Structure 1
């Protein structure tokens, strides 16, 4: 009895946890589809649930009817008549499951072929956007090879168009996933996987690495920004343009710090520098850095530059503790936040 009382005591907390398990960040859910792939996935899940619910209700209804109608009653001393079987019933309970499997199989097979079709959209043709995605510990690199530039941590696509992704990894197994737009796919070292996504609405969609890839796996987030075609083209032009010389004295001083501290050896800006780390061409347009930290939090940004491993375990970025004084740090942060490509973002 004590055990039952204890179990009932924790029931409200269990129900609360169950409800909270369904809560999540905006756009980080597969239950609010914003693209054709995600809509098909949700529809197929619902179809499976309806079929399972139908089977469950029928089985339990028959069970309780038999339990009530054929239960042993007082005076029933004789064993019921034993029969070999009922051909009609056996055919019925064989045919019904086959029909249910067909109902599940047809949309599953057609949807699988639909999602595996990585051929360019005929309506878009040569203008189809192709993005090479590379997973790193613990950030994402997006190479727009036809356009000739690289983006990091945020990937931009045009609305209403089929966008092709070529998935790679340089270290361990990662998994590229934008829940509101489609399913996940692994990035495997030495292997190129292909997938496509389409956004039906202009919005910011959150993405995650869905494969355990190290101690900071949970912080390997990114964003997919879907823009109308004109806005997307303007963003591409901004990424392709040469960075303007800073007019503000503080920003100019920050650029000098950036270059003198060899930051450009890992982070490219406007095509200048290496891409060992995330490209910073549009750093000021981002809402977060390091995958999860608010870009407006200058204290966190300074701490990231000084000692990144204190904020993201396992990151390969070196720290600059003791190498940059407070005045230079203020200038460096001003420079980083000045790196934008669109005024309206």
Structure 2
């Protein structure tokens, strides 16, 4: 008896924990808070399918209870056999037609949404106006994201900047000789795999999709939306985050212009020492410090730091401040296991950390 009570207590505890943990998460890191056209379509399909399942479960439960009560065994009627309905054509037609109708109700909107979400022909249109429909090449790496705006010659990483209220098209690929990742902005839509060795020049092995960011709900979301890798890719899969800033077309155009015209410059003596260290330690061989990185995607092996000083996070998830940056530079493996920066550069002393931090925090485009 005690063992049974213990099992029930454990079951009750785990059930309660499951319900509590199901409510945990970051703001707007949920498909149940849609903030764009694609997310709206996906949310509506989830609601429709859930309603259908709830109705089916409710009807089956009512029938089950009715049968159990009405045809339960009673004293004195042990040998009574209820009327058999085997071979009843009306009943067989009913319970065959109803599931077919439910499938049709679900299938029609699903197929319609699938075709609508697959409309990416505009990406290859030579007459496409980038001021109305932009294309972003997304490259997934271990464990960071690169975003290239081919129409503008701008490359950045970890933070995606997009205009609101217009379609944004995405080419998706993973870095060559790496594993497959998955691009996902839960409150906007997506969750599509990034194939290994996708070729942006030829379009081979690329997945394509589009998203639309609603300006009103973008304001409600706060500073940015959350993006995630949705494909288990290694020990730091859970830390492979990126942020999305949805801004007006005017703000986006200004950001692009600033990125196109910026040149990295150290404004203080300490920052100049950091810039010299950045070159001497070989950081410049992997990291770009200008948005106009003309190297092919395969040659870009580390995140661009062009606007590092203006980002909201360090390494995608750490608070953006000098202390976090120094901790990251001291021991990146401690904070993001399996990252490519581990053991690729010599250890830094406190003076070097101060100088390099000053330089990196000064890499901004708004001051140029």
Both proteins in one fold, TM over 0.5: yes
Aligned twin of 2:192:
185
Q: Is the 8 A contact 2:130 2:151 kept in 1?
A: no
Structure 2 residue runs of 5 or longer lacking an equivalent are 198-204
C-alpha contact (below 8 Å) 2:262/2:365 kept by paired residues: no
CA drift of 1:145 comes to 1.1
- Which residue does the alignment assign to 1:101? 103
Deviation at 1:273, TM superposition (A): 9.1
Q: How far has the Cα of 1:15 moved from its partner?
A: 0.9
Query: Counterpart of 1:166?
Result: 171
Does residue 1:266 correspond to 2:286, yes or no?
yes
Q: Which moved more, 1:236-245 or 1:56-65?
A: 236-245
Deviation, 1:84, is: 4.3
Deviations 1:173-225 (A, max 9, x none): 11111101003011111321111111103351111111111121111111111
Change (3 A) 1:83 1:281: closer
Alpha-carbon distance in 2 for matches of 1:251, 1:20? 44
Change (3 A) 1:54 1:146: same
Of 135, 138, 149, 1:144 maps to 149
Q: Does 1:281 align with 2:283?
A: no
Identify the residue that residue 2 of structure 1 maps to in structure 2: 2
Give matches, 1:305-324, under 5 Å: 305-317=329-341, 318-322=343-347, 324=348
Q: Measure, in 1, the Cα distance between the counterparts of 2:60 and 2:37.
A: 35
User: What is the distance in 1 between the residues matched to 2:244 and 2:183?
Assistant: 11
Measured against aligned partners, the alpha-carbon deviations of 1:230-271 in whole angstroms (never above 9, x if no partner) come to 111111111111325333332233222222222111111123
Q: Please, which moves more after superposition, 215-224 or 265-274?
A: 265-274
Q: CA RMSD in A?
A: 2.2
Q: Does residue 79 of structure 2 align to residue 86 of structure 1?
A: no
Matched with 2:323 is 299
Counterpart mapping for 1:239-254 below 5 A:
239-243=259-263, 245-254=265-274
Give CA deviations for 1:55-95 in whole Å, capped at 9, x if unaligned. Answer: 11111111211222222333323434445432222221111
Give distance in 1, aligned partners of 2:152 and 2:130. 12
Question: What TM-score do you get using the length of structure 1 for normalisation?
Answer: 0.92
Retained in 2: the 8 A contact 1:306–1:319?
A: no
Q: Give the deviation of 1:2 after TM superposition.
A: 1.9
Residue number among 241, 251, 275 corresponding to 1:231 in the alignment: 251
Equivalent in the alignment of 1:28: 29
| Equivalent residue number for residue 59 of structure 1 | 60
Do 1:131 and 1:166's aligned partners in 2 also have CA atoms closer than 8 Å?
yes
Given candidates 114, 117, 120, the residue that maps to 2:119 is 117
1:83 to 1:173, Cα distance in 2 relative to 1, 3 A: closer
Cα shift at 1:29? 0.9
- Greater Cα shift, 150-159 or 64-73: 64-73
CA offset at residue 40 of structure 1? 1.2
Shift of 1:272: 6.5
Three-state SS of the structure 2 residue aligned to 1:25 is: coil
Report deviation, 1:154: 0.9
Q: Please, what TM-score do these two structures have when normalized by structure 2? A: 0.86
**8 Å CA contact 1:264, 1:273 repeated in 2:** no
User: Once structures 1 and 2 are overlaid, which stretch shifts more, 101-110 or 189-198?
Assistant: 189-198
1:151/1:56 Cα in 2 relative to 1: closer, same or farther (>3 Å)?
A: same
SS at match of 1:180: coil
Distance in 2 (alpha carbons) for counterparts of 1:80 and 1:129: 68
Greater shift in the superposed pair: 173-182 or 125-134 = 125-134
- 1:218 paired residue among 232, 235, 238: 238
Change (3 A) 1:55 1:97: same
